[in-house]
Structures are given as structure tokens and as C-alpha cells.
Amino acid sequence: MLTLNVNGVRREVQAADDTPLLYVLRNDLQLIGPQFGCGLAQCGACAVLVDGKEARSCVTPVASVVGQEITTLEGLPARWAKQKGLSAELAKDTLHPVQQAWIEEQTPQCGFCQNGMMIKATELLESNPHPTIPQIKDAFTNSGPSPNLCRCGTYQAILEAVQHAATLMAKGGK
């Protein structure tokens, strides 16, 4: 039995130590934001935040993240609410500004990769609240184990959404 801290909640799971975190999240914890894209840490569809840093859950052994803070796409609203000290009541209906920006910019096409894109955007904006376009391109291309790949080609929309999210975050989320 392993105890994980996922989206601010303690979760106990029965899984072999070497099980990739992705399968534990999706199959045991019903957290379906992260998607299986390649199983090789080459695309980013499965990304989660581990202690605030983007990690590829498809190659992360579950035992290696015991004791660390795991955030999935589902946990982004609560993460934002906690950072902003929002009441539980307010937090319930709040999306993370990154998610809000993704909707307002109509970013996804098929959307399968966008989990990882939003995780990457959150990681970036938490450390650099006002990134330049080259910094955004660099983050999505060079900061992870591989570039975050989108087959539908939504990179322009992602660029605009990250900038929009930065504006929303600077304004406190609205």
C-alpha cells in the first residue's frame, strides 16, 4: 500500500512500486486529466505537477513520488484557490486562470495534448508571471524531458492562451 498526496488529498493505492504514475492516476484514482500519448516521455500528454514541477507520469514510478505533492489537471482549480486563499465556497466554482484562458482563447482542437499544455503553462507562470513570447516558446520546447507536442498544431492558440492566462493571474483570476 502506497500513500500519495494528490491534489491536496491523501490517497492510498495498491500498486507495484514500478507502476507508472499515469496508470495509478487513471485506473485507480479516476483522475483522467493526464492522457497516455507515448509512454516514453516524448510528448507531454500525461504531464502532472510534482512539487510544482512538470513531470511525465507515463515514466514516473509511483513509488518515486510518495511524499511529494502531485497536482493533476483536476487539481488546478484547488491549487489556484489555495494560492489565492479563496474560500471553499468560491473555490468550488473556480477554474485555474490557465483553464479559463484556454476556454476564452478556444485553444484545443482535439484537445488530447492540452492536459500537458495547461500543466506546462501553470509551471511556467508560477515561476515567471509575465513570460515573453520567446520564453513561452522555450518553455514548451526545451524545459521538459521533450517538447510538449500538439498534432493538431494549436501552438499559436497556446501562445495566446498563456499570455491571456498571465493577464488573468495578474488580475487575481478574473
Partner 1 sequence: MASAKNASLEVFGPTLSRRQFVKAGGALLVGFSLVGPELLKADTAKPSVLKNSLDPTLLNSWIEVHPDNTILIRTGKNDFGQGTTFTAYRQIVADELSVPFEAITTVVQGSTDATPDGSGAFDFLGGGMPNIRKAAAYTYQALLGLASEKLGVPKDKLSVQDGVVSGGGKNVSYGDLVKNQQLKLTIPVKGELTSIMGLTIDGNPPLKPVSEYKVIGKSYKNSVIASKVAAKETWATDVRLPGMLHARVVHPKTLGSILVSAGQVDKTKFPNSQVIVKGNLVGVIAPTEWEAIQAAEQVASATKWSDWKGLPGSEKLYQHLREEADWTSAAVANGEKNKGDAGPALGSAKKKHAATYQVSYMKHAPIGPTMAVADVKADGTVHIHTHNQNPQELRGEIAMMLGTTADHVIVHAYPGPGHYGRSNGGNAGAEDEAVLLSKALGKPVRVQWMRADDMQWSTQGSAGYTEIQIALDEKGKISAYQADHYMPAMQDDRLIGAVLAGLPTQAAPNPKGDFISSTANGIQDPWVYLSVPNVTERGHGTYQVGQKASPIAVGLRDHSMRTPGQFQQHFPRELAISEAAALAGADAIQFRLDHATDERAISVLKAVREASAWDTRPSPRPGAASTGSTPIKGRGVALMFRNGSYWACVCHISVTPSTGKIVVEKSTIAVDPGIVVNPAQLKRNVEGGAVMGISHALFEEVIFDQSGITQDDWNSYPIPSMSDIPEIKVVLINNPKVGAYGGGSEAANALAAPAIAAAFHDATGKVMRKIPLKPAYVKALLET
**Binding-site ranges for partner 1 (CB under 8 A):** 15-16, 18-20, 23, 26-27, 31-33, 35-40, 42-43, 45, 72-74, 77, 95, 99, 102-103, 106-115, 118, 136-138, 140-142, 146-159
Phi, psi of 47, deg, nearest 5: -65, 145
Distance CA 23, CA 57 (A): 8
Pick between residue 84 and residue 137 the one whose CB is nearest to partner 1: 137
Pick between residue 55 and residue 120 the one whose CB is nearest to partner 1: 120
Closest contact distance (angstroms) between CB of 99 and partner 1 is 5
Cα distance from N-terminal residue to C-terminal residue, the chain: 41
Pick between residue 18 and residue 89 the one whose CB is nearest to partner 1: 18
Contacts of 132 (CB under 8 A, 6+ apart): none
Distance of CA 172 to the CA centre of its chain: 19
Q: Any long-range contacts for 10-16 (C-beta under 8 Å, 24+ apart)?
A: 13/62, 15/62
Closest contact distance (angstroms) between CB of 51 and partner 1 is 21
Closest contact distance (angstroms) between CB of 146 and partner 1 is 7
Pick between residue 55 and residue 76 the one whose CB is nearest to partner 1: 76
